[in-house]
Amino acid sequence: NLDRHFSDFMMTFHKYEEKTLRFTFGLLSYYTRNGHICMEIESIANRDVYEGDGQFKLPDIEDLRELIKASPVIGKPGDLAPIIKDGDRLYLHRFWYYEQMLIDKIKRRIKDNIGELDYERLRRALDLFFQRGDDKEPDWQKIAAILSLIRSFCVISGGPGTGKTTTVIKILSLLLMYYGGDLRITLSAPTGKAAARLRDAIRSIKPELKCPQDIIKAIPEDVYTIHRLLGINNNKLRFHAGNPLPYDVVVVDEASMVDVALMSKLFSALKDDAKIILLGDRNQLASVEAGAVLGDICGDEELNIFSEPIKRAVEEVTDYRLSTPTPSQHFSIRDSIVELRKNYRFKDYTNIHMISGAIKRGDYEEAINLLKSGKSWFKLPPPHDLREALRDSVVDGFRSYLNKKGDPLNALKGFEEFRILSPLRGGPYGVEHINVLVEQILKQEGLIEIQGRWYVGRPVMITTNDYNLMLFNGDIGITLRDSNGELKVFFSAQDGGIRKFLPSMLPHHETVYAMTVHKSQGSEFERALLILPDTYTDLLTRELLYTAITRVKRGVEVWALEDIFKMSILARIRRASGLKDALWV
């Protein structure tokens, strides 16, 4: 209906009815709602579309171009029109603006020269944080540190366990030592949950650093959501191009979750001489909103290949001799990206590491065989048997935190030990239904007492940002009784303590024994159960499976049908945009 209303509105600006344009506008709205920044005209040429019981075939691309050119609501780049045609792509104006702004800001940064470097001083500083080795494979963490120092824009991509957080903390120490302790640094993440994880990781790693105490103290521990960092409230920004952020270094964790609009606003709010470092995994799911920004920035090309100036700089301060070919004598987007390859959490032979690798390669047979050999593959039960099939997993997974009802902090920690994941919200295998089944099971087993909507032990996830309460999308709390016996919802606080709220005060939220894979981004669990539906949907992709599996540190179970699992691994996320083409020229 939304697509039809948009199409109808656009047609009110035309003097005549043109069915092709009507369908084009509706499809553009549909593409944008489904995460695409734009719509490629070629993708709808000669396409069959349906209206009621009738079928209509869109014309070929040449005729489409002519009709689009004549439309009064479609302009060229720079025009004040609701729809922009840029090359053979159609954009809603605001998405064209966000993409162009981001392209411009990134291109300005990747053209930076290296400048004058004190190589001997840099080598001594690097030796404090990175051991000299004779490995055949270079230490890509060390190379990421070098790039972060000599480039104003750096992307560090890598799977779980490759040391992205450890690397960035060493990078911040290196920057503070090289540029001085008065360097202003801020840390951010897309969600409150991701921010809390980064904060906890920093606090655990800082004591292990081998550098002067004043440097360690200068590394910030507070981590902000990007919305809070920019001061976004009621769609107004405190920080923007006219009032830039006061920081010299901005770090963004879980960058794959950031959509094109938010990333554009962040880059626009940076000082011209500020550094920005993006951390993420280019193989993960893209953002819920429009765009696949990190994936577009990293491209589809092999990474860790640098231009000659960058190659020389790396070799000057390390013992490495990079044997990778140098595609250009000029700076490019490649010179700002490092992919971490060594896994420090999982050995090469561990099941989680091998399963995620097979999924990343698209090898569905290997992935299923690994799951079966590890006794982690189970045939999906029919809907009417799902509750009983879940019983043992639910009781075993949630008993631990429910036995800590008198200790909110440990209850919150215990809740992170296990989670049920699904791609879907609705349907018999969606999280809404599974959450109801879990409540029924826990009640039958005597682990919870449900006397209304709110009960002791109910876990909830915040789904909107509330800047007054400082509760953000993705924050998880547990309902417990406080010292006065009153029901409160307890959340982790930034200082490592807890905060509590009356249930009636909470912004929009939902029960979260089970959560969608999209919502699980930025989280880690000891164990997880992934339940795929019995029919294929476009939500099922290789990136979704990879994201689900890599949320887990110790053990995973997959309940699925083999043909659905296979179709999911073979499907890839392809979001239309002009960002990748503009950066990888």
Q: What is the pLDDT of residues 169-207, one digit of tens each?
A: 999 998 988 887 788 999 999 887 788 888 888 888 888
Torsion sign (Cα): 509, 515, 520, 524: positive
- pLDDT tens figures, 287-298: 878 888 999 999
Q: What is the mean pLDDT of residues 381-405?
A: 93
Question: Of 23-32, 39-48, 90-99, 317-326, where does mean pLDDT reach its minimum?
Answer: 317-326
Q: pLDDT above 90 covers what percent of the chain?
A: 53
Is residue 254's pLDDT more than 80? yes
CA angle 276, 278, 280 (to 5 degrees): 175
Region of residue 180 (phi > 0: left; psi between -120 and 50: alpha; otherwise: beta): left
Q: Quick check: 170 and 139 in contact, CB under 8 A?
A: no
pLDDT, residue 61, reads 92
Structure tokens, 84: 């922009």
pLDDT, residue 159, reads 83
**Beta 83-86 vs 153-157: how paired, if at all?**
unpaired
**What is the rounded distance in angstroms from the CA atom of residue 585 to the CA atom of residue 575?**
19
- pLDDT tens figures, 310-365: 888 888 888 777 766 655 555 688 889 999 987 776 654 467 888 888 998 899 99
Most confident of 79-88, 108-117, 228-237: 79-88
Q: Which residues contact residue 127 at a Cβ distance below 8 angstroms, ignoring those fewer than 6 apart?
A: none
pLDDT, residue 584, reads 86
Q: pLDDT above 70 covers what percent of the chain?
A: 95
Q: Looking at this protein, which amino acid is placed at residue 461?
A: M
Which has the closest alpha carbon to 421: 302, 305, 285, 329? Answer: 285
Most confident of 209-223, 227-241, 407-421: 407-421
pLDDT, residue 385, reads 95
Is residue 479's pLDDT more than 70? yes
Q: Looking at this protein, which amino acid is placed at residue 412?
A: L
Could you write out the DSSP letters of every residue in 329-355?
SS--GGGGEEE----SSS-TTSHHHHH
pLDDT, residue 177, reads 85
Torsion sign (Cα): 452, 458, 463, 465: positive
Q: Do domains 1-92 and 350-570 have the same CATH topology?
A: no
CA dihedral 226, 229, 233, 238 (to 10 degrees): -130
pLDDT, residue 471, reads 85
Residue range 109-345, CATH number:
3.40.50.300
Q: Looking at this protein, which amino acid is placed at residue 158?
A: G
> What is the band of 396 on the pLDDT scale with cuts at 50, 70, 90?
very high
pLDDT, residue 331, reads 62
Query: What is the C-alpha radius of gyration for the chain, rounded to an integer number of angstroms?
Result: 25
> What is the band of 440 on the pLDDT scale with cuts at 50, 70, 90?
very high
Could you write out the DSSP letters of every residue in 489-525?
EEEE-TTSSEEEE-GGG--SEEE-SEEEHHHHTT--E
pLDDT, residue 346, reads 60
Question: Of 21-25, 70-74, 78-82, 471-475, where does mean pLDDT reach its minimum?
Answer: 471-475
Q: Quick check: 570 and 360 in contact, CB under 8 A?
A: no
Adjacent-strand bridge partners of 421: 515, 530
pLDDT, residue 348, reads 47
Is residue 97's pLDDT more than 60? yes
pLDDT, residue 326, reads 57
Is residue 513's pLDDT more than 70? yes
pLDDT, residue 276, reads 95
Q: What is the mean pLDDT of residues 146-175?
A: 89
Residue range 350-570, CATH number:
3.40.50.300
Long-range contact list for 67-71, CB < 8 A, 24+ apart? Answer: 67/18, 67/20, 67/21, 67/24, 68/21, 68/24, 68/41, 71/14, 71/21
CA angle 137, 141, 143 (to 5 degrees): 80
**What is the rounded distance in angstroms from the CA atom of residue 369 to the CA atom of residue 364?**
8
Which has the closest alpha carbon to 562: 570, 554, 553? Answer: 570
Q: Looking at this protein, which amino acid is placed at residue 181?
A: G
pLDDT, residue 302, reads 80
Q: What is the mean pLDDT of residues 433-439?
A: 96
Q: Is residue 129 packed enough to be buried (19+ CB in 10 Å), middle (13-18) or exposed (0-12)?
A: buried
Residue range 1-92, CATH number:
1.10.10.1020
- pLDDT tens figures, 528-549: 999 999 999 989 999 999 999 9
Domain definitions of the chain by residue range: 1-92, 109-345, 350-570
Its pTM stands at 0.86
